[in-house]
Structure 1
């Protein structure tokens, strides 16, 4: 049975802690850049058993949808690697049922245990730890002890959970690598891969939005006692349409709406969808004489209008939307206007005269620029949004040998760096990772040697954080684009990072496609921020100077005395990382460029 109360344990010795650290570090270095799941998981399990002084265990991958799990690695007992079992059996089944770590004093307490005979009698204390990824259980690490009377401690459980986290990264990276390899084989030419990345994202996003709107309507009707059959039928039709449209996109057939129809007729169908999906009042205005447009111009202009309407339906809370088509001698222009809630980009345009492109809008710009055109976005809170796309009548041919965006990745964890390399290669073929390093010092050296287009850096780095790294890089080259990987939009350091010139922020938990969009937007000179981060910036930028907290005032006093972060941490009984965050907040709130400048401000006060 699962242990309910953690047992009290003595602190680990310094030598034991050093052994754990060395083993974890060695494992991370060994696994970085390798993506065959079998050897990865076997190494993780062997390291786990070594530190727990055990010789038997297994790592399984879980498929909750099918109700099964597979033993990928099995060491010491059983020899059942490659065997699949139902999720109501074994230690892994217990882990999935509990959704957490389980502890058994004897293996015999495990329901449906698979180890039988003499081996079963030799197994005593047993621990099972879930392997998680994005809040889902994708596997389990199981360790057996042959020592009679031994009980696994809560400290040992925490150690196994660390290895389970590495296993989660290994499994996910392996899956991403497999997907990337498969797609790479299927892509005959680079242009095909680029088309798939761009178009599938737009098509799937629109399809899902349509389905969710229909389901919301069904839920609303059920809540007031009205029949929901028609809304559910519409959701099914929307799902079939989304599947069909995605298949057409992958096969390169273009939007179904353009089959045998003119551009204005296809846009009229999209407006009818917006009316049906969100109850919008719509209008289509055509100005000028429609001439012969290049097929790629028609296709891309329709996609721009389609995605703009999807954004209106999903995000704008609008009542009316109008689309205008203006045919000129050399250009064709599409205008999409809504009366929705809009968004505020005051103070965030960079550089001057370049409009800010928020999350999702960068894709519209990429489509237009692909053909030598442009997209401009104007928006005011509560006064709606206006998108203007201008494309040449005779589309330019994209250059097949255009250089890729050169990217430098900075993150202290090798496995995460490797995962970013692989997932970005899958999400955006035009991104070329030129180097990946673990700290700010190495980043400065790599930047000086390689001069990448974009630096993608963790906000949390040893010694010098991402905000300080951004400041140092921009002191060397004020054209450098730095995108910061953040843990939370609530981090106080984001405003300071924006103040020293960070080009964008993206959460580390974001999908690879979102991270790729942020990198491409930065490379193009745009600022890509999610609505949540935009909202946070708007509040901070309009709320006046931020007061210091009581703790920040304490930290400031010690910083001004020239005391190191480590000494401040000891003085205030805080962790060094917490002190570093307080120092970063002080620099941001006071406007000081560094600790020396902060001390100078103190002298000025005196």
Structure 2
């Protein structure tokens, strides 16, 4: 029979004890809290909590309060109070523990002759554990106690399930972080060694020109050059095949977009909104990065050019990929007559970023009626290349080692879709590197001299007509020289103190 007054206090006590479980996600502290709460609920001081593995027909005693038997080793479900509870499939009340088939308490133990109650901890149709509480001196348990403990066990099951899911999520995050760091390290090592090998190839070519034709030295140089080229090619293949499946980010996709919206709201005094639709799919890291860059670029255009009062971003998750839509109520523009080079640069960059991962961009704009940009991207790169995306290949031409290193760092930090294939300090080496490495973009200092007197751009595009050249403004370059660069095909210029974002924008736009 229950103690007097217990039923009047039990609902409030049960609610408070159940709420206390919600804040603990570490499994062992949670299990201890569950057992202490169950013992408190039934006004006892002794009990145990076991986790059950029905598939292996065993259970494991995790927590003991003054029970002191068989803790820490697997036991068969054919024995003990937990085994009886699982076999019964519901609450079990015994007047004495001595009635437990194949029990574990020694007959000399005081609890051996006391009452005991046990209930299963059930999640769905599966028994995942059992709560066992021993009666105190002169205490007996009844049906009300069984119902109360059984109800509490339901709350405990939810808390245990949440703890397990939290542990799984933490482990996945840890594994993703390790994989992302491993991939980043391998990529950085590949790029560093790749640039070193490219430099070695250029030096070997120069040595080959100086060596007498047909001499043993020339043959050795040619063999060394072939070996370096093979090493560069095999290194690239190795890194392509070692890519990770995930990337741990500080922010979720939604959070990252909200940060960008907060920026544009503060910068341009706009009202903003983010809407997410559909069942979320998992984006490959390179797709996620380019999606964020596309949103950044679109919002930058809104802040700088749209003169809008509001901007909305929508994320639409579909079966094959995700669409991101950026829509403003600004002044719009004529798509056929984009005269602002900065705005044109931004829009070109959007297309390049989407195309790199196998996506596409749609742009709707009407003067006076705002602008709507939609980018459709696959969940994983869809480029027709089993190795994934083809990274944009960039060559740096600059006379100062510190500037070359700085540009490499800026691109490595901000643009994972970019690979710096070589750094050179003078035009002859740059021409050979362009011919050998076939870069997509050359970042070239305007201070580099050209022996022929022609613009540097002309020499580079002579060996690779489609290469995009961006000038780095060094010193007081005469305006006539800049005009000559532009006339020869330079796609734009960036200042020597360019930041990572602007440099990335310029490379993407050039492509």
TM-score by length of 2: 0.40
Q: Which has the larger radius of gyration?
A: 2
